[in-house]
Each structure stands twice: as structure tokens, then as C-alpha cells.
Amino acid sequence: MAGTPSGPTSCRSTPKLRELGHDVTVATPSGKDVQTFVNDKDRGEVFPVDVKLAEAEGPFDVVLLPGGTLNSDAARIDSEIQRVVKDQAGAGRTIAAICHAPWVLVETGLAKGKTLTGYESIRTDLANAGATVVDEEVKVCPANGWTLITSRNPDDLDAFVAAINEA
């Protein structure tokens, strides 16, 4: 999945994962290309989308939720994104979320019982949702029958991609 990171954070993970040999499908609820924003206000790069989320063919080894404030806020209340994330966890498959993207886990109830990290401003939300929150570059948590990979911000992108690659 793709969204609007504060910088083109997780959209930058797509080419990195492809360079590592992974087949990556970028999907959004609308099926429209992703407009990124720098610092949540200045338009950044536009990244192409492969398919509308409802038409994405799973199962997926990893569902990656990109960061940034604006689209992460919209993503957390999107019923199609919630369905995909719940299905992924329910199937015991990996979810990766960076920056503000763990908000989706709060809305779906999937943060409860997980140890994770995220952008500083959402850590209280994560803790209130029942997560144990750590301040680490990347956190991999296998609790509750599925693996969660989280990172804090764009500076953690290399460690985030490495953990996804390993998963």
C-alpha cells in the first residue's frame, strides 16, 4: 500500500525492495498515484500506483503501511485498508509500518499486545491502544501470531527496509 509520507519515506522503500529482488505491488484505495508531501505541506514526488486496493491480489508476504501524517491519518479510518490489515494479521502474515502508519494498528485493535515504535507524536496513542512502545530504529515483534515491523521516521528507512527484506 502507499500513502503520503512526510518525505517520500515509504515510497522510497518500494524501489529499494525491488532492487533487493522483491515483487512489490503498490495499491491505494482510489487506485490513483501517490502525491507525497515534504513536512506535511510542500508537495514532493508523485509515485505510480499499480492497482486499486480492492483489486490487489493476495496473499501478501508483507503489507507495508507508509508513514507521514496526512495519509496515515486518512488511512487509519479507511475501511478497505483496515480490512486488508486485519486479514493480513489474521493470516499470520507480516505487517510493516513506519512513522505515523501505526495509527492503522490503533484503529484496527492490532496494536494491543505488540511491542513497537513509531513517530514520537503517536506514541501515546499506541500506548493507550495497549502496545508497549520503544524508541528504537526498527522493532520486530512476533507477538499475537503475526509479525509486525515498525520504525520511527525517515532516518530509519535503511533499517526498516533491511528488516522487511529479512522477513
User: Per the structure, how many domains does the chain have?
Assistant: 1
Catalytic residue among 11, 22, 100, 141: 100
Which CATH number is 51's domain given?
Answer: 3.40.50.880
Domain assignment of residue 147, given as a range: 9-166
The answer to the question of residue 42 being in a domain is yes
100 is catalytic: yes
Residue 78: how many CA atoms within 13 Å on its side-chain side? 22
Q: What is the pLDDT along the chain (167 residues), one digit of tens a residue?
A: 433 232 333 466 888 898 999 999 989 999 998 887 777 778 888 888 999 999 988 889 999 999 888 889 999 999 999 999 999 999 999 999 999 999 999 999 999 999 999 999 999 999 999 999 999 999 999 999 999 999 999 899 999 999 999 99
H or E segment to which residue 96 belongs: strand 94-98
The answer to the question of residue 2 being in a domain is no
Catalytic residue among 11, 22, 99, 141: 99
The answer to the question of residue 1 being in a domain is no
The answer to the question of residue 3 being in a domain is no
The answer to the question of residue 98 being in a domain is yes
Task: Report the predicted TM-score, pTM, of the whole model to 2 decimal places.
Answer: 0.91
The answer to the question of residue 160 being in a domain is yes
